[in-house]
Amino acid sequence: MPAPRACDCGTELAPSLLACPACGALVHRDRLTELARDAASASAGGDHVRALALWREAFAILPDGTTQRIAVAKQITACAAVVESGALAEAKKGPPPSSFWAKLLAPLGTAGLLIWKLKVILVALLMKGKLLLIGLTKIGTIVTMLASFGVYWAAWGWTYAAAIVGSIYVHEMGHVAALRRRGLPASAPLFIPGVGAFVRMHEHAATPREDAEIGLAGPWWGLTTALLALAVYAWSHSPFWLAVARTIGWITLFNLIPIWQLDGSRGFHALARMQRWLMVAVIAVAWALTREGLLVLLALAAGWRAFEKQPDRPRDWRVFAGYCALLAIASALAVQR
């Protein structure tokens, strides 16, 4: 264990402290100055990915509640937005005028541009497929996944077990993708037989919105497997696939309950009090339309979260809309007959 250090004021500092308890001075102020300088330089040079990583390192060594930590969190949010918008712009624009693809597709005009767009989409899908395979290279993921598969196989048969375990895996990789996109390291998924799975975060999110978007990314990815099962049902008319889609919808609804470590709790954390009450009303409407009993539990938990004491924060309508959309899709899937 590192030896205790002394602050400039003479107070002895434990290795885990981020600020002096006597004078309030930041323990890592020299490193913070260096990180801020390097991050600003990286942003000025257009390297926003490196700037984001540097700001996150600074965020990790700042005490909670300090003005410096709040300021760095704003820098992280701004930098992450630039990185994400840059990726979206790259996907939307056509090939560079001097590139091989531009010369090849230029004679085709609009059709050539459409082919380029299709290429971008295919590359994005392949990248997501590659990400999904990464977790399957980790021994912890494989062993715990097989253990869960065995539990579900004993209860419902191997085909149903494979579908549900696959959906849970995709759900957890949604969290991993969201973390990686924001420059945050994370473990591969680990399954808990009969319960679910989880991903360990090695760093905390900088803002409530970031935490909410990482939390809700899992349900979004998981729902794609339900929609895929529903599409297979529409093609094959096999009740097995309808049952799979319905189960995934129900699991997603359960995961949206805003309590404990569930993803819904992380989503609710970013909402202001008024938005939480609005969400209670949205859940009530969903229950009136579907009569899904799980929505009653969800509404009770949402009401409790609306009553709890919380710091003042701006209304985040993006997170609110995402939560509502997840709720609507999962509710519709859960009542499929």
Query: Got the DSSP string for 178-229?
Result: HHHHTT--BPPPEEETTTEEE--BSS--SSHHHHHHHHHHHHHHHHHHHHHH
CB atoms within 10 A of CB 202: 10
> What confidence score (pLDDT) does residue 228 get?
92
> What confidence score (pLDDT) does residue 180 get?
83
> What confidence score (pLDDT) does residue 44 get?
85
Question: Across-strand partners of 201?
Answer: 186
Residues lower than pLDDT 70 in the chain: 1-4, 84-133, 311
Which of 280, 290, 293 lies closest to 332 in space, CA to CA? 290
Q: Which residues contact 192 (CB under 8 A, 6 or more apart)?
A: 144, 148, 198
CA 106 to chain centre: 38
| Angle formed at CA 273 by CA 177 and CA 321, multiple of 5 degrees | 40
Two structure tokens written together for 121: 């989409």
Per-residue pLDDT tens over the stretch 288-329: 999 999 999 999 999 999 988 776 777 889 999 999 999 999
> What confidence score (pLDDT) does residue 87 get?
52
Q: CB–CB of 222/171 below 8 Å? A: yes
Q: Which residue has the tokens 């869960």?
A: 148
Query: Residue 289: how many CA atoms within 13 Å on its side-chain side?
Result: 15
User: CA-CA distance, 272 to 36, in Å (whole number)?
Assistant: 31
